[in-house]
Amino acid sequence: MINSVGGANAPGLATALMNKKTAEEELAVTVIKKGQDIEKAQGEAAVKMIESAAPGRIDTYA
């Protein structure tokens, strides 16, 4: 009875579900890393803009 419910495809289905979950997690990590890269680039651009506006007169690292 249990064998007819699980069938021969049960291990394949479990593997497919695990692969799907792993792919979703990898996508989420990639999106977060991309967001961090964008924020870092924006921060660096802001520091450069501030430094160019008043070179040597503003402490941007305080």
> Domain map of the chain by residue range?
10-53
Task: Indicate if the pLDDT at residue 1 is higher than 50.
Answer: no
Task: Indicate if the pLDDT at residue 3 is higher than 90.
Answer: no
Q: Phi/psi class of residue 59: alpha, beta or left (left: φ > 0; alpha: ψ in -120 to 50)?
A: beta
CA 2/CA 58 separation, integer angstroms = 73
Question: Which tens digits make up the pLDDT trace of 15-32?
Answer: 999 999 999 999 999 999
φ, ψ (nearest 5 deg) of residue 57: -105, -10
